[in-house]
Amino acid sequence: MAGGRIFGGGAAGGSSSSSSLGLLLQNNKRTEPLDSLFLSGSCNSSSSSPSFFASRSMMSFEDVHGGNGSNKTYFRSFGGGDDIVDDDFDEYFQQPGKKRRLSVEQVQFLEKSFEVENKLEPERKVQLAKDLGLQPRQVAIWFQNRRARWKTKQLEKDYDVLQATHNTLKDDYESLRKETDKLKAEVHVLSEKLQEREKEKENLELSENSNKLSQEPPEKPIADSEGEVSKVSAVEDISSSVKSDIFDSDSPRFNEAVHSNSLLEPGDSSYVFEADQSDLSQDEEDNLPSYIFPKLEDVDYSDKPTSSCNFGFPVEDHAFWSWSY
């Protein structure tokens, strides 16, 4: 233990008319134990000089006179001084590396002061030191250590609160996940049913058509209207087929339609799959059929005005993305 700071040089001289805690508690009621401290620990005692009083605080009366360790009270009376033998004190005080515990009363006093204000201004430090018969440096150290203890306790409290919050969130997450799984399974079952129904319908139509074709002899259309008639029937065929393909992600015609942007135009009344993309994670997007969640690179918005920073989204739909970096 070399070097280090030099002790604060004892309590400041002069008498005071108010205690340090009194400085802070001017408008507060004092507690009874502290009152006794204030009274008994007064530095106004004419019988002892402040410097002597502060020095005396560095020792235990009972230690000097053979006290038995635990349950010690170091400073039975702050003001008296008649029962102190200076030689014993000097002997004790000069022992190197000895630590002296503060008395219960001193600690109570300091605790009370700490409750009021956990920082220590120089004036209060000196005043407290005077009141308690300690070195100002000791008071400062006590406050420093007390702040450290308080901080540790606070951290423990914060940790407990965070842990409780974490547990609550975890439970919420679990229940939401279960609900999501349940809903996903429901969606799966329903979409399978839908596909089955559409296929049945399609098969029925095909068989009906083939029956008609096999029973009716082919009629030659009139030359003038031939082109028109075949065009209309062709369009009808394609139209009905496309409609059913909307529900069939495997249909190449469906994909063509999507790519040409002719069927799934947002805002169109036929735009039936307006998925809320914000609720889907990227992984989920990847697993979904393209008709529910067309990939960005598959959608051509070349006919729409775009800004330099809209990531390929139509400007009017994604103003959010349109800020400039």
Partner DNA sequence: TTGTGTTTTATTGCCTCC
Partner DNA sequence: GGAGGCAATAAAACACAA
Burial profile 59-81: b = 16 or more Cβ within 10 angstroms, e = fewer: bbbbbbeeeeeeeeebbeebbeb
Q: What does the DSSP assignment read for 250-281?
A: T-HHHHHHHHTTSS--TTSTT------GGGS-
Which of these, 236, 254, 234, 235, lies nearest to 294 by C-alpha position?
A: 254
**29 scored as a contact of DNA (CB under 7 A):** no
**112 scored as a contact of DNA (CB under 7 A):** no
| Residue carrying the six token digits 């002997």 | 91
Min separation Cβ 126 and DNA, Å: 9
Binding DNA (rule: CB under 7 A), the pick from 116, 141, 161, 275 is 141
Min separation Cβ 271 and DNA, Å: 59
| Residue carrying the six token digits 């605080």 | 57
Name the one range near DNA by CB under 7 A: 139-147, 194-202, 220-228, 245-253: 139-147
Which of these, 114, 117, 137, lies nearest to 125 by C-alpha position?
A: 137
**102 scored as a contact of DNA (CB under 7 A):** yes
Tokens standing for residue 197: 């129904």
Interaxial angle between packed helices 104-116 and 136-215, expressed in degrees from 0 to 180 and rounded to the nearest 10: 50
Binding DNA (rule: CB under 7 A), the pick from 112, 137, 304, 318 is 137
Name the one range near DNA by CB under 7 A: 101-109, 167-175, 273-281, 297-305: 101-109
**140 scored as a contact of DNA (CB under 7 A):** yes
Name the one range near DNA by CB under 7 A: 100-108, 187-195, 221-229, 268-276: 100-108
C-beta of 1 vs 222, nearer to DNA: 1
Binding DNA (rule: CB under 7 A), the pick from 70, 215, 269, 281 is 70
Name the one range near DNA by CB under 7 A: 70-78, 230-238, 270-278, 309-317: 70-78
Binding-site size, DNA (CB under 7 A): 33
Q: What does the DSSP assignment read for 67-111?
A: --STT--S-S-SS--TT--HHHHHHHHT-TT---PPPHHHHHHHH
| Residue carrying the six token digits 């842990």 | 163
User: How many residues are present in the chain?
Assistant: 325
Name the one range near DNA by CB under 7 A: 4-12, 199-207, 230-238, 307-315: 4-12
**144 scored as a contact of DNA (CB under 7 A):** yes
Residues interacting with DNA, by CB under 7 A? 1-5, 7, 58, 69-72, 97-102, 107, 119-120, 122, 137-138, 140-145, 147-149, 151
